[in-house]
Amino acid sequence: AHTVHEAGEHHHAPGRRRHEIAIEIGEAFLLALVAVATAWSGYQSALWDGRSTKLYGTSSRIRIAATQNTTRGGQDQLYDATTFNFWLQAKLTHNAKLALGYQKRFRPEYRPAFRAWLATDPFNNPHAPAGPIFMPQYHNSHNARGAELNAQASEVFQQGVEARETGEKYVRTTVLLATVLFLIALSQRFALFKVRAGLLLVAVALLVISAAGQQRGP
């Protein structure tokens, strides 16, 4: 029996087709390549997911600071309007001392707009602006800072969205690569060359699709 078995082995070994050896080498190479690519894709997915979470948190903190500045700016604007109304009332009642007292209470960044408004001769010029707050010289630093922070928060939030989409792209790639690994493992269970070659071609096609998806981006 041993002699017959050895004879059978020597009979089939030389006749083993080269393409069967080639496909086994291809399966081994592809298996190693996809295993590394799957691990890398999973790592990138976790990395970009963490980055998106961090960016969302940063955007929220900036948005809170923007809201605080906008609220303070609204309070400053209300103060400007209130003190100006009191000044105007004192001015119209010819109470110069009271008007001067209110004028001294104007905020420093409000005074240039007030002086520019007075230069328009508002009590005689019907085309003069309704008050200093409507002058180009009027500046509210808290409102300006709030608008700047809101724009910054929106930009950071958009970066978070892009990072999340990139992470989702790597998740899709990981799923495809896992399918490739499954097909390669499955092909090794078949002795028929055509079946193994067909499964290997499908695996290669999915690998190409994965690589193309990485190039296109989210």
Residue with tokens 């080269």: 18
Q: If pLDDT is split at 50, 70 and 90, which confidence band does 192 have?
A: low
CB–CB of 44/124 below 8 Å? no
pLDDT at 7: 43
* For residue 10, pLDDT beyond 60: no
- With a pLDDT cut of 70, the percent of the chain lying above it is 77
Find out whether 141 and 26 touch, Cβ atoms under 8 Å: no
Mean pLDDT of 106-127: 94
On whether the pTM is more than 0.75, the answer is no
Pure H helices in 93-140: 96-104, 111-118
Residue 29 pLDDT more than 80? no
Residue 132 clears pLDDT 80, i.e. is over it: yes
pLDDT given for residue 19 in this prediction:
63
On the question of pLDDT at 147 being above 80, the answer is yes
Closest CA to 31 of 206, 184, 210: 184
Predicted local distance difference test score (pLDDT) of residue 199: 67
Using pLDDT thresholds of 50, 70 and 90, give the confidence band for residue 37.
confident
User: Which has the minimum average pLDDT: 4-8, 199-203, 210-214?
Assistant: 4-8
Distance of alpha carbon 168 from alpha carbon 164, whole angstroms: 6
Res 17: pLDDT: 64
Band the pLDDT of 2: cuts 50, 70, 90. very low
What confidence tier does 14 reach under pLDDT thresholds 50, 70, 90?
very low
What's residue 4's pLDDT?
38
> Does the pLDDT of residue 195 top 50, yes or no?
yes
Judged against a pLDDT cut of 70, whether residue 79 lies above it is answered with yes
**What is the distance between the alpha carbons of residues 189 and 42, in angstroms, rounded to a whole number?**
27
